[in-house]
């Protein structure tokens, strides 16, 4: 059961990361369309840009994708199959 709880917890975290990433991307898009923000950014210097200090799209995205593939897979581990079969046999809900 601890494995199931850990998998469920990881799934919730991955969904939250995706939700916040979308919100963050939308927020940056809105800021890019704000002329005052863009003027202030250009006034700060040519090395300044709108966005996070580092790009998280490469290494972190690969790690998140690997975790998502494992967590949201259609593959059912053997311990889940046994539980499912027991539940069907005894007409129980999971």
pLDDT, tens only, 27-48 = 888 988 999 988 888 888 877 7
Angle between helices 2-33 and 59-71 (to 10 degrees): 140
42 SS3 class:
helix
pLDDT digits (tens, 9 = 90+) for 61-93: 788 888 888 888 776 555 556 666 666 666 655
pTM for the complete prediction?
Answer: 0.54
Task: Tell me the H-state helices in the chain.
Answer: 2-33, 35-44, 59-71, 78-89
Neighbours of 10 (CB within 10 A): 15
Domain ranges, ordered by start, for the chain? 2-89
């Amino acid at each position: 059961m601890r494995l199931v709880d850990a998998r469920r917890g990881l799934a919730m975290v991955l969904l939250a990361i995706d939700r916040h990433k979308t919100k963050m991307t939308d927020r940056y898009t809105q800021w890019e369309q704000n002329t005052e923000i863009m003027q202030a950014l250009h006034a700060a210097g040519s090395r300044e840009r709108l966005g996070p200090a580092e790009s998280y799209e490469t290494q972190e995205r690969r790690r998140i994708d690997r975790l998502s593939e494992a967590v949201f897979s259609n593959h059912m581990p053997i311990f889940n199959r046994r539980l499912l079969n027991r539940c069907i046999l005894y007409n129980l809900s999971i």
